Amino acid sequence: MEHISYKQRDCRDQDKIVDFLTVARIGIVGIGGDAYPYAVPVNYVWHQGSVYFHGMGSGKKVRLLAEHPAVSFTVYREDSTLTDPVPCKADTAYFSVMLFGDAAKVTDVGEAAGVLQKILEKYTPGFYKQEMSERMVAKYRSSMDGNGVAVYRLTPVHLTAKENAAV
């Protein structure tokens, strides 16, 4: 696997990376596609060293993940534009993480329920009084297609992080 060639931007601070993955809200899943690669934004949680994301149990993302489980996952934050009197020296302050590995559909209902609970806590803290149960996950069916929810786990085999701090 290639490493970051711009060594000045390489971030290897594991605490900083984990903190960022924990609080960032949107990630982009890059999947091998039909005629073109397919990159789709998703809500996610970072849990026990893996990225978990979910969606309807059918559709293009589900089909492509079954056909092409090797994926990339990108999370980034733009902090500001860095100006300079010389246009070529203008830059962007940012932090980004890219993960690479196989996305696997979570088949254990208990694991899926636990992850969906973490997603609820991250995106709607305190809103739902009842915790996500295995029964709720097993019985849920989308009104759009009648399928249940699909939860995926990506445990990275490779991870890179880059940053350009605002000066």
Q: Is 101:158 a contact under the CB 8 Å cutoff? A: yes
Global confidence as pTM: 0.86
Whole-angstrom distance, CA of residue 70 vs CA of residue 126? 35
At the topology level, CATH places domain 7-164 in Pnp Oxidase; Chain A (2.30.110)
The 10 Å CB-count burial string (b at 16+, else e) for 41-69 is: ebebbbbeebbbbbbebeeebbebbeebb
pLDDT of residue 48: 95
- Show pLDDT as tens, one digit a residue, over the chain (167 residues): 556 666 777 888 999 999 999 999 999 999 998 899 999 999 999 999 999 999 876 788 999 999 999 999 999 988 887 777 888 877 778 899 999 999 999 999 899 989 999 999 999 998 888 887 777 777 765 444 446 788 999 999 999 999 988 66
